[in-house]
Amino acid sequence: MSTQKVTLRVYRGDAESGELQDYTVEVSEGMVVLDAVHQIQATQAPDLACRWNCKAGKCGSCSAEINGKPRLMCMTRMVDAIKTAEGGPILVKPMKTFPHIKDLVTDVSQNYRNNKKITPFRPAPKGPDGEWKIFQYEIDRAQEFRKCIECYLCQNVCHVLRDHHEFSFAGPRYMVRAAGLEMHPADQGDRIDQLKEELGIGYCNITKCCTEVCPEGIHITDNAIIPLKERVVDEHYDPITALFRKVFGKKAPPNPAP
Partner 1 sequence: MLRPQGMVTLSLGATDRKDAWWLSPLLFAIAFGGFSIYATWAAWQNEFYRFGPYLSPFYSPLLKPEWLPPWLSPAFLILGAPLGFRLTCYYYRKAYYRAFLLDPPGCAVGEGKPSGYRGERAFPFILQNLHRFFLALAILVWGILVKDTVEACIWDGQFGIGLGTLVMMVNVVLLGLYTFSCHSFRHLIGGKHDCWSCLTFGKQRHTLWRGVSWLNGRHMQFAWVSMIWVGLTDVYIRLCAMGLLQDSRLF
Compare residues 80 and 190 and give the one whose CB is closer to ligand FES.
Answer: 80
Find which of partner 1, ligand FES, ligand SF4, none residue 53 binds, CB within 5 to 8 Å per kind. ligand FES
Segment interacting with ligand FES (CB under 6 A) among 2-10, 46-54, 76-84, 217-225: 46-54
Rounded to 5°, the CA angle 103-31-79 comes to: 95
Q: How far is the CB of 239 from ligand SF4 (least distance, A)?
A: 26
Interaction of residue 147 with ligand FES, rule CB under 6 A:
no
Residue 236: contacted member of ligand FES, ligand SF4, partner 1, none (CB under 5 to 8 Å, by partner type): partner 1
Report the C-alpha gap between 253 and 258 in whole angstroms. 12
Other CB atoms within 10 Å distance of the CB of residue 70 = 26
The answer for 30, left when phi > 0, alpha when psi is -120 to 50, beta otherwise, is left
What is d(CA 42, CA 186) in angstroms, rounded to the nearest whole number? Answer: 50
Q: Is position 171 an interface residue for ligand FES (rule: CB under 6 A)?
A: no
User: Looking at 23, 98, 152, 174, which residue binds ligand SF4 (CB under 6 A)?
Assistant: 152
Q: How far is the CB of 67 from partner 1 (least distance, A)?
A: 6
Instruction: Decide: 207 and 125 in contact? Cβ < 8 Å.
Output: no
Pick 64 or 175: Cβ nearer ligand FES: 64
Q: Which is nearer to partner 1, 32 or 153 (CB)?
A: 153
Of ligand FES, partner 1, ligand SF4, none, which one sits near residue 180, judging by CB under 5 to 8 A according to partner kind?
A: none
Tell me if 174 contacts ligand SF4 by CB under 6 A: no
Please, which of residues 188-207 interact with ligand SF4 by CB under 6 A? 204-207
Tell me the C-alpha distance between 123 and 176, whole Å: 19
Distance between CA atoms of residues 121 and 185, nearest Å? 11
Interacting residues with partner 1 between 72 and 131 (CB under 8 A): 84-86, 88, 91, 93-94, 96-101, 106-107
Q: Which residue in 73, 75, 103 sits closest to 90, CA to CA?
A: 73
**4-13 and 90-93 beta bridge pairing:** parallel
